[in-house]
Chain A
C-alpha cells in the first residue's frame, strides 16, 4: 500500500475552492486536506458560513475530506485576557462544529506552544483549554491531532502526557518545516505520525519521501506547500507552476516507493 499523497488547498489560497478541487480531480486524487481559511472556508467566533457549498463543491469533484486544519488567525487558547480567550474558544468550538457538519473526523490544530507573547499566556490555561476542546470534539466524534515541527517536540511530549492522563488519544502530524533529517528526530521522539505535511523545495521533498519510504511509512502525506520553483500569486503562470509541482510530488512519491531517485 505505502504512503498516500493527499492534496491541500493551502497553495491555492488566492483561488476558488472550485478551481482547487478541479485540479485535484485532474490529478486523480480522491482525498484532500482542507485548510480552513477564508474566503474558501469562513469560520469565526460567531459561527461559520456556506458549509453546504463547501460540501457540495468537494463532492462534485468526487473528493473526500481526509482531514481539516483550522486557519487559527490570531485566536489562541493561552490568552490571559478572558474576553480574548473566550472569543478564541468560541472560534475553535465553531471549527469543531464545522467539521461535524461536514462529516470530517480528523481535525488538525497547529497551536504555537511558546515564544508567542509569553507574558500574555499561561501554560495551565493552554492545557486546560486543550482538554476542553478535546472533550468537545470527542462528543462530536472528531479526533484532534496536533501539528508538530522539531521546534515543538518538548511541548508535544507534555501535551501527549496530559492527554493520555485524561484518557484522550494523542496523534500528531509532522510538519516538515525544517530539514529532512528533522523528520528522523521527531519520529524517534514522538513515534510515527498519522500524517506528514510536505513543505519545501523539490530536493527537500524528495528527501522526505525517501526517508518515509525507507521507514515503510504507510500513512498520509499532504502536499502542503510544495512550490517546486519560486513563484508568486500574481504570476500568470502561477497555476502551471503549482500544477507541475503537484505532478512532481506524485512522481517523486512513486519513485521513492520503487527506491529510485528522480532528481
Chain B
C-alpha cells in the first residue's frame, strides 16, 4: 500500500486552529484529508453555503483534497440513533448538512455509525431507529453522489453495531445500495476483530478505513506502534483484498490533544516506514 493513500484527520487537532492541522499535513507531505466537521473548525449547525465554499478554498490552498467527511456524533446531541421523532428531525437536518458539506468539498464518502440507544432498553428498538435515519441519509447522499460508509463502534460507546455480526444486522435492516463500510481498526481491536476478518465477511462493501492502532477493551484510537495491533498483518489484509480506498488517521485520545502535531507526526513517521513512498 502506498503512502499516498494515507489521509490526515483533524479530529485530534480540535483544540487548536484548523490552520495548524492543514499546515502540518502539508509539511508532512500528506495530500489527502478526511474532514471532521466539528467545533472549532466548522459548525454544522450554523454553517452557510459561503462557509462551505470558504472551507473548500482554504483546504485547496494547502494543496490538499478531501476524501471523506465525518460529522461529530456520539459525544454530541446529534447521533445516528435518535430516541424521539423530534430528535430524529434535528439529527436528520444536522447530518444532511454534513452531506452538503461533503458535496461542496467534493468528498466521495461520508462516514457514519450506528449511534447508540439507552442500555436499559431493548437494543432492537435502537437498531430500528438507527436504520430508519441511515436509510433516509442514504437517499440524500445518493442524490449528491456521495457514498455512506458505516463504521463499527466500540462496545464502550454503543450497544448497536460494534462487531461484524451486529454491523451485518444493521446493514440488513437498512438494505440500501448506497451504504458501504469503513473498517475502524481501533474499534475492531477493542472487539477483538481484525481487518482480515472484516474483508472475509464484507469483501468489496468496504470503502474506507479509519486506520489506527488500538487495544482490546479501549476506546483509544492510537498512534501506530503504541497499541496491540500488528500493522503489517493489517496492511496485508488490505493488499490481499485489493482495497482501493484511503487510510485515515483518526487519532483520538486525550493524550494527544495538547500537542496534536507531535502525535500526528509520530504516527505518519511510523506509517512511512511500512507503506511504500
Contacts and interface: CB of A to CB of B under 8 A. Distances in A.
B82 to A, nearest CB: 7
Contacts of A49: 84, 86-87, 90
A74 B72 CA distance: 10
B75 A73 contact: yes
A79 B18 CA distance: 13
B119 A83 contact: no
15 contacts: A38-B77, A38-B87, A42-B86, A44-B77, A49-B86, A73-B75, A74-B39, A75-B39, A79-B40, A83-B51, A84-B43, A87-B46, A119-B16, A119-B17, A232-B156
Interface in B81-118: 82-84, 86-87, 90, 116, 118
B176 interface: no
The listed residue with most A CB atoms (<10 A of its CB), out of B17, B45, B48, B116, is: B45
Interface string A20-60: 00000000000000000011001111100110000000000
B15 A117 contact: yes
Nearest to B77: A38
Contacts of A45: 45-46
B225 interface: no
A16 B121 contact: yes
Nearest to A22: B120
B26 interface: no
A14 interface: yes
A73 B77 contact: yes
A236 to B, nearest CB: 10
A76 B156 contact: no
Contact of B40 (A15, A16, A19, A120): A120
SS of B interface (majority): loop
A15 B87 contact: no
A86 B51 CA distance: 15
B236 to A, nearest CB: 30
Given A15-B119, A75-B39, A76-B39, 18 more contacts: A16-B118, A38-B79, A39-B82, A39-B87, A44-B77, A46-B45, A46-B90, A49-B90, A50-B84, A74-B38, A74-B39, A79-B39, A84-B46, A87-B43, A115-B258, A117-B17, A119-B17, A233-B156
Interface in A51-95: 71, 73-76, 79, 81, 83-84, 86-87
Contacts of A86: 46
A42 B77 contact: yes
The 8 closest A-B pairs by CB, nearest first: A74-B39, A38-B77, A87-B46, A234-B155, A16-B118, A83-B46, A14-B119, A39-B83
A83 B121 CA distance: 38
Given A39-B83, A115-B15, A120-B17, A14 B39 contact: no
Contacts of B159: 14, 234
Interface in A217-240: 232-234, 238-239
Interface string A128-158: 0000000000000000000000000000000
A27 B90 CA distance: 36
Contacts of A116: 15
Given A19-B120, A233-B156, A234-B156, A117 B16 contact: yes
B119 A233 contact: yes
Contacts of B244: none
B51 A15 contact: no
Given A76-B39, A115-B258, A232-B156, A16 B120 contact: yes
Contacts of B39: 73-76, 79, 84
A119 B41 CA distance: 12
A246 B43 CA distance: 38
A253 to B, nearest CB: 27
Interface in B112-158: 116, 118-121, 155-156
A87 B39 CA distance: 11
Given A15-B119, A44-B45, A117-B17, A84 B77 contact: no
A193 B166 CA distance: 47
A13 to B, nearest CB: 10
Contacts of B120: 15-16, 19, 239
Contacts of A238: 119
Contacts of A75: 39
A111 to B, nearest CB: 14
A116 B258 CA distance: 9
Nearest to B47: A83
Contacts of B77: 38-39, 42-44, 71, 73
Contacts of B16: 117, 119
A42 B87 contact: yes
A249 B190 CA distance: 31
A165 to B, nearest CB: 29
Nearest to B94: A44
A14 B118 contact: yes
Contacts of A71: 77
A178 B184 CA distance: 33
